[in-house]
């Protein structure tokens, strides 16, 4: 079994954005900042890795240690601004197995 959790995370904006600079580093930085804000210094030390970044759909697949999955998901849920623009992050799927994020909604 994996010691990591994988999350498919989408960034949704309240209004149309034109002057937005969206990069994997800013995406990850927003999550890191929320972890520090909500859980303090220990939360800020959480290892967050971006496996795939899709600029067109404003989505990323991230990996976090299994022990920090719940805290990371909570911190992601509490993000309300990105570069001072109102938004929210939405976890589309989460799994300890990376390939399950790619599967459809078919039940086995």
DSSP per-residue letters across 15-46: S--SS----HHHHHHHHHHHHHHHHHHHHHT-
Reply yes or no on whether the pLDDT at 1 is more than 70: no
More confident residue, 54 or 105: 54
Whole-prediction pTM: 0.86
Task: Give the pLDDT score at 10.
Answer: 95
Distance of CA 5 to the CA centre of its chain: 11
Region 72-95 average pLDDT: 92
Helix (H, G, I), strand (E, B) or coil at 96: coil
C-beta neighbour count of 20 within 10 angstroms: 14
Reply yes or no on whether the pLDDT at 11 is more than 90: yes
Task: Give the pLDDT score at 21.
Answer: 84
Express each pLDDT in 28-57 by its tens digit: 999 999 999 999 887 778 899 999 999 999
Helix (H, G, I), strand (E, B) or coil at 18: coil
Domains and CATH numbers, the chain: 4-96 (3.30.70.3250)
C-beta neighbour count of 87 within 10 angstroms: 19
More confident residue, 106 or 103: 103
């Amino acid at each position: 079994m994996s010691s990591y959790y994988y999350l498919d995370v989408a960034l949704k904006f309240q209004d149309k954005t034109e002057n937005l600079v969206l990069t994997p580093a800013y995406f990850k930085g927003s999550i890191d900042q929320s972890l520090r804000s909500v859980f303090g210094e220990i939360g800020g030390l959480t290892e967050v890795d971006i496996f795939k970044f899709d600029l067109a759909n404003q989505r990323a697949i991230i990996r976090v240690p299994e022990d920090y999955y719940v805290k990371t998901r909570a911190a992601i849920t509490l993000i309300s601004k990105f570069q001072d623009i109102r938004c929210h992050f939405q976890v589309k799927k989460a799994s300890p197995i990376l390939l399950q994020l790619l599967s459809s909604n078919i039940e086995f």
